[in-house]
Structure 1
């Protein structure tokens, strides 16, 4: 009997939508259990660098990172969207800043909680599981704003971020500027529009169960929109946000936003 290709494809999509390779990698690292995270784009592979990206010491962070953390701390309480293993939440906690984390990965949230953080929620950044006007600032660093996949999609996210902060709310989001990238950038996809490109890859985690059996978990393909700061400003049109500053580290940048009644820095 022939294979039901439609059913098989649907089952694979469900499996990948439920997969959590990045969160499993964070949890494995935290528990010091075997595991390897890999970024894949076709035949290209790159190590996930879990320790460096999600468990680094603040002493290794650049000035732009600290600046962004301080700016949102001044407007606490802070909502850290895509909080991962909780590194930034721990930095704020050490300084007495009121902050809550949200992440789509259940295992990332589990990791953050095992590190001593209580106010961490599993949730979708397009529909944040927090009340309206509950925060003074939103911190969205990890380039996940690019998962909006288009300027219109980023605009949707910005509207949702605006919902959860009060009238004097601030936000910090980050992205890569494609005008400063080339096709050697992992997962890079060009676009004919100026200041626009894309990035595609998926994550795989190879780990070991308690009984010693090895397993591999493959995530869905992630598609990011990369946009220059100028194109990002376009995405704020029709939202309550104004870009007040841009903090750069080569091709990577953080955009600082304020509710539109605030004026940009000159």
Structure 2
């Protein structure tokens, strides 16, 4: 499958990028901020890191910024669907980088495999229905221990629409928005990505019937457009 996004990031890391990586939404185009988003300095997460004292699963790990940080402390497994990004992570020194799908965890890992998990980069919002979100949470519960913790993030739909974030459009359903775009690099066109933007309230509702509970949430760091429109949530297993 065509993967201009992953290939451009790999080429950037190797000093071989010949053209910008572009995001396209119809006639609207922007240059993807590869260096800033994938290779910038990691911001410490003081509310999550103290809870990580065992094996960690990094989902949608990109170029491995978080995996490189955590693997010095705990066993860290980094997964990403892009073979090019997995190559990049291995080039950068990630010890255990694998091609993997965060929405198919039961097929890849045993029960109770991890003590903690994170997904940073709004990949969680690729779950395009409430059912898909609940299924992800159930699968994440299966591969994590009874006292596990997890950190996820996403775009706040109302603030993203108001700020005019690239490729975001409102939804008639209150509390939802969508983001739709594809990437291009050196004439190579990637698949269209559909993100279903929801807030922490929807995440909390989705945890009902799963072992997870949202124990804290904050307004997350700015997105790659510089807009403060994201949230970050901390989940723990119900005791």
1:18-68 Cα shifts (integer Å, max 9, x gaps): 11112101110110002321111001011111111101123xx3xxx5236
- Name the TM-score, length of structure 1 as normaliser: 0.81
2:57 is the counterpart of 1:79: yes
Please name the residue that 2:120 is paired with. 141
- Name the TM-score, length of structure 2 as normaliser: 0.90
**Runs of 4+ residues deviating >2 angstroms:** 65-69
1:151-203 Cα shifts (integer Å, max 9, x gaps): 22111111111111010111111111112222621111211222111111111
Please name the residue that 1:29 is paired with. 12
Instruction: Quote the RMSD (CA, aligned, Å).
Output: 1.5
- SS of the residue aligned with 2:21? strand
Alignment of 1:71-150 (within 5 A): 71-72=50-51, 74-94=52-72, 96-128=73-105, 129-150=108-129
Please name the residue that 1:221 is paired with. 192
Q: Offset at 1:93?
A: 2.8
Say which of 134, 137, 154 aligns to 1:155: 134
Q: Max radius of gyration: which structure? A: 1
Aligned length: 228
- Equivalent pair of 1:40/1:204 in contact (CA under 8 Å): yes
Unaligned runs of 5+ in 2: 221-227
Q: Offset at 1:260?
A: 1.7
Structure that is richer in helix per residue: 1
Q: Offset at 1:218?
A: 1.0
d(CA) in 2 for partners of 1:125 and 1:178?
22
Alignment of 1:50-89 (within 5 A): 50-58=34-42, 61=43, 66-67=45-46, 70-72=49-51, 74-89=52-67
Cα separation, partners in 2 of 1:251 and 1:43, compared to 1, 3 Å: same
1:74-129 Cα shifts (integer Å, max 9, x gaps): 242110000011011111134x2221101000000000001111201101111122
d(CA) in 2 for partners of 1:196 and 1:180?
11
d(CA) in 1 for partners of 2:182 and 2:90?
26
